[in-house]
């Protein structure tokens, strides 16, 4: 039976290729930001290269990694099915420059997937924030959201392709929380959920150190550190607030959650057991920025 299914899938892909519609092959573009923070932190280049390596050989997925900041050649965006940003954000977010903003908007209208990790989920309130709400469901808003360094306990793993094969886990990182989501969390699926302690809510946050009254008063409330959306234009999006600490990619569940998300966002089916991979200590040391 397996051989029959494989043959049918191969024939189906061949038919699309012959007609000039290669719907089976998906292209994922990963953009790694410029070096940032101290050694082992915000290792955008090493992180993206590691994830690319762990996706090698995944059926019908082509992964292109652009290192060291925004690509100088816009041709890398041609025929992409999904874009992943792992870079510094905030007011200087590379993606919100007018010409890039316009290009991304056109790609989103075409149903291109869009995912952001860690600092890349932060954009200014107003039009950038509204765009992130539309494209990925929410964003980090300065002085509304906060960025404590803490250890969430992800005990409840919801059913979603991104969580296939993911077991409950806990890991220290600069997990952003209290995102500025769409009203009433419309069409947003929480992926990683945990309840911060009152001590975490009371700060200090990484910057500004806080505490913020509205965050302290939300004592006992669950927070969402990763989420996913399926947009009306057919595109898929997600936000992931971890990723500050590079060595966390060595955690099987942390890494699998991201690999699953990248595959799902690209429009492919995530295996029931998730995207399996192994990482060695030596691999975690590869491609680190000279800091």
- pLDDT over 50 (residue 94): yes
- Tens digits of residue pLDDT in 178-218: 999 999 999 999 999 999 999 999 999 999 999 999 999 99
Q: Is the omega angle on the peptide bond into residue 131 within 30 degrees of 0, that is, cis?
A: no
**CA atoms of 224 and 241, how far apart (whole Å):** 9
How much is the pLDDT for 99?
95
Mean pLDDT taken over the chain: 93
Q: Would you kindly state where each structural domain of the chain is located, as residue ranges?
A: 17-284
How much is the pLDDT for 14?
37
CATH code, residues 17-284: 3.40.50.880
- pLDDT over 70 (residue 104): yes
DSSP category for residue 247: G
How much is the pLDDT for 56?
97
| 11 HSE (CA, 13 A, CB side) | 6
The stretch 234-246 carries a mean pLDDT of 98
pLDDT band for 291, please (50, 70, 90 cuts).
confident
The stretch 222-249 carries a mean pLDDT of 98
The stretch 14-35 carries a mean pLDDT of 70
- Tens digits of residue pLDDT in 54-76: 999 999 999 999 999 999 999 99
Each residue of 202-238: b (16+ CB within 10 Å) or e? bbebeeeebbbeebeebeeeebbbbbbbebeeebbbb
Which residues are CB-neighbours of 244 under 8 A, at least 6 positions away? 37, 41, 42, 118, 149, 173, 174
The stretch 273-286 carries a mean pLDDT of 98
- Tens digits of residue pLDDT in 129-151: 999 999 999 999 999 999 999 99
Residue with tokens 């149903």: 111
């Amino acid at each position: 039976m397996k051989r029959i299914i494989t043959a049918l899938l191969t024939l189906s892909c061949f038919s699309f290729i012959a007609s000039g519609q290669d719907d089976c092959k998906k292209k994922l573009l990963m953009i790694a930001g410029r070096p940032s923070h101290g050694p082992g932190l915000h290792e955008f280049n090493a992180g993206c290269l590691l994830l690319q390596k762990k996706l090698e050989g995944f059926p019908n997925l082509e992964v292109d990694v652009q290192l060291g900041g925004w690509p100088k050649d816009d041709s890398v965006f041609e025929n992409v099915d999904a874009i992943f940003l792992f870079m510094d954000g905030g007011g200087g977010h590379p993606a919100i420059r007018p010409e890039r903003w316009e290009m991304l908007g056109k790609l989103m209208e075409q149903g291109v997937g869009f995912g952001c990790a860690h600092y890349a989920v932060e954009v200014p309130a107003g039009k950038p924030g509204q765009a992130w709400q539309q494209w990925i469901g929410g964003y980090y808003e300065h002085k509304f959201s906060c960025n404590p360094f803490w250890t969430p306990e992800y005990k409840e793993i919801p059913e979603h392709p991104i969580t296939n094969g993911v077991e409950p886990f806990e890991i220290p990182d600069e997990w952003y929380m209290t995102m500025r989501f769409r009203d009433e969390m419309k069409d947003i699926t929480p992926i990683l959920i945990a309840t911060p302690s009152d001590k975490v809510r009371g700060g200090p946050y990484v910057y500004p150190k806080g505490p913020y009254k509205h965050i302290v008063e939300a004592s006992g409330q669950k927070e969402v550190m990763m989420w996913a959306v399926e947009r009306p234009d057919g595109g898929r999006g997600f936000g992931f607030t971890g990723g500050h600490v590079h060595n966390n990619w060595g955690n099987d569940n942390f890494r699998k959650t991201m690999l699953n998300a990248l595959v799902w966002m690209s429009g492919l089916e995530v295996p029931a057991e998730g995207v399996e991979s192994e990482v060695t200590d030596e691999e975690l040391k590869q491609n680190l920025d000279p800091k």
